[in-house]
Amino acid sequence: MTPDIPLTDLLQQIRDCRLCDAHLPLGANPVVRASASARLMIIGQAPGTRVHQTGIPWNDPSGQRLRQWLALSDEAFYDEKQVAIMPMGFCYPGKGKSGDLPPRPECAPTWHGSLLSQLPDIRLTLLIGQYAQNHYLQDDFRTLTERVQNFRNAGAAIIPLPHPSPRNQLWLKKNPWFEAEVIPELQARVRALLQADSSPLVS
């Protein structure tokens, strides 16, 4: 963990990180957004190729669906004064047999603790996908589906979510309770959290 330094310096250190550059097919391009005033934290998996190219997190079809789930406009979602975005792996990890490879294991232990310690106003954390959930949740659930279905067990400050990738369309069809039960509460919590935000929410 990096000793306490100004948040702007820490973010620059993360963006300059080349710790696992040799393992990355497109090279290192860490993607992170945060401000000390942020109240919502989004912890996802790792950037895809489009995010790697643009440096803008969730700048892809998965991000479009995530913003629909949250009922947030692009402007509100990318307002880092309110929303922090910290993936499990900050760089694109490469392609595997059935999609992108898992996030690199070096990122979370190297940077997450230092960054979270600089974000005192986080009130709600979204853990998107199995990697974030396995890292941050200590529970007895054996599958992501069980965790998401029992999302209230995570407490008022955390909501576990499936990944919004188009690859998960079949999961969404098989689990209609997610959009019927989880999404309304997710939107209500986000709305209550960011209601003082001047950026427009999606109506």
For the segment 148-203, what is each residue's pLDDT rounded down to a tens digit?
Answer: 999 999 999 999 999 999 999 999 999 999 999 999 999 999 999 998 544 555 54
Q: Is residue 152 part of a domain?
A: yes
DSSP letter at 179 equals: I
Number of domains in the chain: 1
Q: Is residue 202 part of a domain?
A: no
List phi, psi (to 5°) of 57.
Answer: -65, 145
Q: Is residue 16 part of a domain?
A: yes
Question: For position 184, which CATH number holds?
Answer: 3.40.470.10
Q: Is residue 2 part of a domain?
A: no
Q: Is residue 104 part of a domain?
A: yes
Res 198: pLDDT: 45
Q: Is residue 156 part of a domain?
A: yes
Weakly modelled stretches of the chain, pLDDT under 70? 1-3, 196-203
Q: What is the residue range of 88's domain?
A: 7-194
Q: Is residue 201 part of a domain?
A: no
pTM above 0.85, yes or no: yes
Res 47: pLDDT: 97
Q: Is residue 199 part of a domain?
A: no
Residue 164 near residue 46, CB atoms below 8 Å: no
Please report, to the nearest 10 degrees, the dihedral formed by the alpha carbons of residues 141, 143, 146, 150 taken in order.
Answer: 60
Res 97: pLDDT: 84
